[in-house]
Amino acid sequence: MLTTPHGSLTGRLKMPTRTAAPKSKTTEVRSERYRIRFDRRAQAALCAQIAGACRLVWNLLLADCERRYRLHKEYGKGTAIEGAVPVDKSVSFFTLGKRFTDLRSRPDAAWVRAFLGSPWGRRYRAMDLSWLGDLPYAPLRYTAKYLADAYTRFFEAWAAAKSQGQSLGVRKSDGKPKGFPKYKAKFDRDDGFTIPDGVRMDGDRLHIPKVGWVRLEGSGLYRGCKAKQVRIRKEGTEDHPKWYAYVFHEVPADRLKPPAWTGAVGVDRNVGQATDSEGEVYEVPDDPQLDANIKRKQRGAAKARARSKANGQPMSNRGRRICGQLKKLQRRKKRRRENANHQASRKLADTAHTVVLEDLNTKAMTKSAKGTVEEPGKNVKPKAGLNRGILNTGWGQLERNLDYKAGQVLKVPPAYTSQTCAVCGHVSKGNRRTQATFKCEACGYKANADHNAALNILARGLALLPKARGNGASARREALGPCLLPLAMDKSTSVTREQGMPTAQGPQGSGAWSSM
């Protein structure tokens, strides 16, 4: 709470009603996670077979894309190399979908024979692909959509880096640019497949093509809503896998909890917690024992990989078991982080209609400080710990949750929010005495450092809101908002801007308060 010559005001401001218009969407898409309970072991085996087939289709199409690109670069577009079929380097979903259909139904097609006879298709030459026809068509074909999206993301990142005169760098594993689609191995990540459309659900039961009806365990929050798409994933070790269904529902807007109608709140994200402009702290629970177990399993997995690489043999069963245990612990930590961020975003959306965040570049902030042999980095170990802390807090996840829960999300420049006094606007590095304490050198204002930063973030966000035209008194009153009008009407108070932040200063210039 800030004290002003006109009384006490809280950090939350009531916004004009024109900025708090309700969302006009009639339906929104929401996802829910269910545990799958199979009635027969054969159903789990069929799901594993479909997931493995999707992985094979990904690798086949990726190898074909690399082959076509090499031929296109070597011979040019339109050259008939595959019989009467010109070389085409397209990686669109339409093109990849057609080529998957040929792989599944027309193994005698010209390009299929050319692909299997090339160095890229050598490892698949002796493989009988006719068994793909026994599996559901839509989930396998949708793998081409994921590959096309992966290429799109890579090309967008490459174009963005090129426009800035930079490069994406080279991947150590295969020498390809970073972000380029990778081949999938059996033990690399959790397997899964997608039912893209035509989802059939009956209460707590789901129909998986070629598998049959399975039971679902979950909260059933959106039960009765239309299911648009389902993602089936296998999680856990190979000996005892767990299957989950991520169902995307089309939910009517009247069944969703609306955000607050008015108000604005600023949020300062820190390592392990976030603080809003009202002083509320949202912590991500820390479990030292869980972190210690993860580190121990990471060391064991690293030793198993090193032994496998030194011997030139596949990883042992014990090594794979350790990797499975590591994934289990990491998933547990991920669930706790997601739960904390969901609770924080829900409470923030209930607190105010507009949520103001710093526009943080998390990728750049968590970049490794190791450097190179010629120019080694400094303070590498503390920087690595900071990177882990930022990533474990889930800044991006909190932001994504607020995007669909809050009424409006604004982003402001983060520069000097932690060094600026929320009362007088004085900017100095000395204001931040410690990591947790803020004391202004000019006016003596004391506060929690994160709370002070959240107030500054809120003030910068208010400056971005729509204002009336003109520069007269009426425009200034409308820009300040209804709860700031008493200060605007006081002739002894002048409204100024310092360091890009609106503040209100009293007659003595000591800075009665800022427009938070």
C-alpha–C-alpha distance, residues 414 and 402, integer Å? 18
Beta bridge partners of 249: 30, 227
C-beta of residue 70 within 8 angstroms of C-beta of residue 87: no
C-alpha–C-alpha distance, residues 480 and 477, integer Å? 5
pLDDT in tens, 182-204: 999 877 666 899 999 999 999 89
In this prediction, residue 191 carries a pLDDT of 84
pLDDT in tens, 265-323: 999 998 888 999 888 899 988 888 999 999 999 999 999 999 998 988 888 889 988 98
pLDDT higher at 372 or 18: 372
Alpha helix segments (H runs only) across 76-179 = 93-105, 110-116, 137-163
> Which span out of 134-138, 365-369, 482-486, 503-507 was modeled with the highest average pLDDT?
134-138
In this prediction, residue 392 carries a pLDDT of 84
Query: Which runs of E-coded beta strand occur in 399-457?
Result: 408-412, 437-439, 446-448
Q: Count of alpha carbons within 13 Å of 120, Cβ hemisphere only?
A: 19
| Exposed/middle/buried for residue 172 (C-beta within 10 Å: 0-12, 13-18, 19+) | exposed
Residue 467 reports pLDDT greater than 80 = no
In this prediction, residue 301 carries a pLDDT of 93
Beta bridge partners of 207: 200, 213
pLDDT in tens, 220-278: 888 889 999 999 999 876 677 889 999 999 999 888 888 888 889 999 998 888 999 88
CA 310 distance to own-chain centroid: 36
In this prediction, residue 24 carries a pLDDT of 53
| Residue 393 tokens, joined | 């807090």
pLDDT higher at 381 or 472: 381
C-alpha–C-alpha distance, residues 234 and 238, integer Å? 9
Task: Convert 182-192 to b/e letters by CB count within 10 Å (16 or more is b).
Answer: eebeeeeeebb
C-alpha–C-alpha distance, residues 337 and 400, integer Å? 14
C-beta of residue 174 within 8 angstroms of C-beta of residue 66: no
H or E stretch at 457: helix 449-463
Nearest to 61 by CA among 119, 1, 134, 148: 148
Residue 355 reports pLDDT greater than 90 = yes
C-beta of residue 277 within 8 angstroms of C-beta of residue 358: no
C-alpha–C-alpha distance, residues 369 and 367, integer Å? 6
| Residue 72 tokens, joined | 């296109």
Q: Give the pLDDT mean for 41-58.
A: 93
Nearest to 122 by CA among 185, 64, 73, 53: 64
pLDDT in tens, 424-439: 889 988 888 888 889 9
| Residue 128 tokens, joined | 């009988």
C-alpha–C-alpha distance, residues 476 and 481, integer Å? 9
In this prediction, residue 112 carries a pLDDT of 84
By DSSP bridging, strand 7-9 and strand 2-4 are antiparallel
| Residue 151 tokens, joined | 């290429």
Residue 88 reports pLDDT greater than 80 = no
Rounded to the nearest 5°, which phi and psi values hold at 341? -70, -35
Report the mean per-residue pLDDT for the chain.
80
Q: Which residues contact 373 (CB under 8 A, 6 or more apart)?
A: none
Q: Give the pLDDT mean for 362-386.
A: 75
What is 279-347 written as a DSSP string? Answer: S-EEEPP--HHHHHHHHHHHHHHHHHHHHHHHHTSPPPHHHHHHHHHHHHHHHHHHHHHHHHHHHHHHH
Residue 7 reports pLDDT greater than 60 = no
Q: Count of alpha carbons within 13 Å of 481, Cβ hemisphere only?
A: 24
Task: Convert 356-383 to b/e letters by CB count within 10 Å (16 or more is b).
Answer: bbbeeebeeebeeeeeeeeeeeeeeeeb
In this prediction, residue 371 carries a pLDDT of 65
pLDDT higher at 76 or 417: 417
Find the distance separating the first CA and the last CA of the chain, reported in whole Å.
Answer: 10
Q: Give the pLDDT mean for 387-396.
A: 85
Q: Which residues contact 25 (CB under 8 A, 6 or more apart)?
A: 253
Identify the sign of the CA torsion 449, 455, 458, 462. Answer: negative
Residue 35 reports pLDDT greater than 80 = yes
Q: Give percent of the chain above pLDDT 70.
A: 81
Strand, helix or coil for residue 181: coil
In this prediction, residue 1 carries a pLDDT of 42
Residue 4 reports pLDDT greater than 60 = no
In this prediction, residue 10 carries a pLDDT of 39
In this prediction, residue 379 carries a pLDDT of 73
pLDDT in tens, 138-161: 999 999 999 999 999 999 999 998
